[in-house]
Structure 1
């Protein structure tokens, strides 16, 4: 499954040069991961409340391929590319007019409320297995 999230570039997203500030791509990606989980029936707050689990970023590799500018309409595509007991790997790509402008691989780990690694809850892992994409 590839989850698609439309994004509009607002003035607040840009730097002095009128292009999207590099750190804002990471904010866009966070929104994409959140909406991806929501599309599967899970919310970050629900994982914390029901399972005492948080999914946190452990590693990111990001390539900024082309700039996005004020008022651009973008599409963020998010998919799960790997899954293990306590970690998952995702790929997130941002497109403008069907041209890839940003490519990111992110590793998330499940931690408990004490900050220690723990298994991804079975019901979450089962749904993630069902949408796993080989890239």
Structure 2
């Protein structure tokens, strides 16, 4: 019996792309995607982006190193998604420090922007205090900053 793997998205240069479909459970009474569901989609895309980068959040947490926590979030809603729409979540790394990483995430329908988020996550100790993230995490995020921008003709 086949055992399909959950979707994890893929990288296109520095962009992580993650597809979601709008189901009935995602919509509100008016038939459009409920605003909080964009947060869920962005979180899933970020988690799978980290997984593809080789960042094992669970192992870091179980080893007592810490975990990522959202410390700042700004959302901008532009137009709604509706039942059965195929939405693409695009995630890019905007800034990296020893403790934090800032990502820009977009929910796209075709070429149209539905919602955009700027999310800063900090690596925190098991006690909740900000701490330096593991060097391999910083290196993974930084490697995406070094890639050519979307649509660039650079090698």
1:33 aligns with 2:56: no
- Residues in 1 aligned to 2:50 and 2:62: alpha-carbon distance in whole angstroms: 15
Runs of 4+ in 1 over 3 A off after TM superposition: none
TM-score (norm 2): 0.83
- Residues in 2 aligned to 1:110 and 1:26: alpha-carbon distance in whole angstroms: 19
1:11 aligns with 2:43: no
Secondary structure at the counterpart of residue 121 of structure 2: strand
Tell me by how many angstroms 1:46 deviates: 2.1
- Residues in 2 aligned to 1:59 and 1:104: alpha-carbon distance in whole angstroms: 10
Q: Does the 8 A contact of 1:61 with 1:104 survive in 2?
A: yes
Structure 1 residue aligned with 2:112 = 99
CA RMSD of aligned residues (A): 1.5
Tell me by how many angstroms 1:88 deviates: 0.9
Q: Does the 8 A contact of 2:64 with 2:126 survive in 1?
A: no
TM-score (norm 1): 0.94
Tell me by how many angstroms 1:51 deviates: 5.5
Q: Does the 8 A contact of 2:71 with 2:122 survive in 1?
A: yes
- Residues in 1 aligned to 2:29 and 2:92: alpha-carbon distance in whole angstroms: 32
Tell me by how many angstroms 1:57 deviates: 0.4
Tell me by how many angstroms 1:49 deviates: 2.2
- Residues in 2 aligned to 1:95 and 1:50: alpha-carbon distance in whole angstroms: 37
Q: Does the 8 A contact of 1:51 with 1:121 survive in 2?
A: no
Structure 1 residue aligned with 2:9 = none
Secondary structure at the counterpart of residue 60 of structure 2: helix
- Residues in 2 aligned to 1:51 and 1:3: alpha-carbon distance in whole angstroms: 28
- Kindly provide the CA deviation profile for residues 102-126 of structure 1, in whole angstroms up to 9, marking residues without a partner as x: 1110110110101111001101111
Unaligned residue ranges in structure 1 (runs of 5+)? none
